[in-house]
Structure 1
Amino acid sequence: MVKEVKFLRKQADKAERMAQSANEPEITRNYLSMARGFRTQAEILKAKKQLKKKKRSISDQ
């Protein structure tokens, strides 16, 4: 799961760099939208992992 989160964050970084180098506003917006999507997916995966971890620690008690 951590690898997936890290991968998605790297993809977001790449999309942001591409947005900075794009010459057309529409392409820039598309790359920034992709970056937001990647970051959102990463945060969702991270939250799910933390929730599983929390549930496991509660059931171990």
Structure 2
Amino acid sequence: MVKQAKFFRKQAETAERMALAYSDAELSQNFLNMAKAYRNQADVLKAKEKSKAKKKSNKK
């Protein structure tokens, strides 16, 4: 899942670059919203991974 989180973070960076590349305010905002959504998804995946690792270590 770490690879998936990394993928979403890279997508967020790409969306932010796209937001800066366009002068249209609405389009830029859409890309920024997309970047935020990608980061949120990455955070969820990372939290799930941490939770999974914690449960695994508690079983020992």
- TM-score, normalized by length of structure 2? 0.98
Percent identical:
50
Write out the 4+ residue segments of structure 1 that deviate beyond 4 Å after TM superposition: none
Quote how far apart the aligned CAs of 1:23 are.
1.3
How many residue pairs align between the two structures? Answer: 60
Q: What aligned pairs does 1:36-47 form with structure 2 within 5 A after superposition?
A: 36-47=36-47
Task: Report the equivalent of 1:16.
Answer: 16
Unaligned runs of 5+ in 2: none
Post-superposition offset of 1:57: 0.2
What is the aligned-residue RMSD (CA, Å)?
0.4
For 1:28, the equivalent position in structure 2 comes to 28
Give the alignment's TM-score, normalised by structure 1: 0.96
